[in-house]
Amino acid sequence: MIGDGDGASEKAYGQLLLPYLEDPENAFVVSSDFCHWGRNFQYWQYCSSADFTKLRSLSPHGGSHPDPSEPPIHEFIQTLDKAAFKAIESGVQAKFVEYLHLTENTICGRHPISVVMAALSLLSDRSKAPEVVCSTRKQKFTFVRYERSNLATTTSDSSVSYGSAYATL
């Protein structure tokens, strides 16, 4: 079980998990929701593109913000989550950590995901060493399903996203 951390400590925890990941008798399960958006979660980030440097808050507490329609909020949430999936699927833990710093996306399992990404990356690096005889293909995540609890259209809506993925060795 993993609570909180930063990119560097998550990489260190990945190093600790490496011997267990190398054992084919072991399996790891990482469970996480993805974006928690809206009044129930105090996260109202939005932008009209995938340029997350232009994120702005639609918080109803910060003044008058009209509910955007292009794209609708739920489409932006999907864009936000799909960018997280892309960072995770890259297999590069630093990309995922950078994504989280930029977006502050409310992915509740971000720390365990980052730790496993770090461990998989270390395993991949180790498998490239000449003295180790094992596959040289990169271990990575593949997302296979995406759902949202609600297709949010206004700042009074709330939504939680869910993604399913698996990692191969």
Q: Are 121 and 92 in contact (CB under 8 A)?
A: yes
Rounded to an integer, the average pLDDT of 47-76 is: 86
**How far is Cα 113 from Cα 2, in angstroms, rounded to an integer?**
10
Q: In the structure, what pLDDT confidence band is assigned to residue 63 with cuts at 50, 70 and 90? A: low
Task: Read off the pLDDT of residues 75-99 as tens digits, 9 standing for 90 and up.
Answer: 999 999 999 999 999 988 899 999 9
2 within domain boundaries:
no
Q: Which is higher by pLDDT, 102 or 120?
A: 102
Output the domain CATH number for residue 140: 3.40.830.10
1 within domain boundaries:
no
62 within domain boundaries:
yes
Task: Read off the pLDDT of residues 107-139 as tens digits, 9 standing for 90 and up.
Answer: 988 988 888 888 888 887 765 554 444 444 456
Q: Are 145 and 161 in contact (CB under 8 A)?
A: no
CA distances 139 to 20, 24, 122, 125, 127, Å, are 15, 14, 10, 10, 10
Q: Which is higher by pLDDT, 63 or 42?
A: 42
In the beta sheet, which residues pair with residue 142? 166
72 within domain boundaries:
yes
**How far is Cα 117 from Cα 98, in angstroms, rounded to an integer?**
13
**152 is in which domain, residue-wise?**
7-168
93 within domain boundaries:
yes
Q: Where would I find the H helices in 3-160?
A: 7-22, 73-89, 93-103, 110-127
pTM recorded for the entire structure: 0.84
Tokens of 124: 């991949």
Number of domains in the chain: 1
Q: Crossing angle for the helix pair 93-103 and 73-89, nearest 10 degrees?
A: 160
12 within domain boundaries:
yes
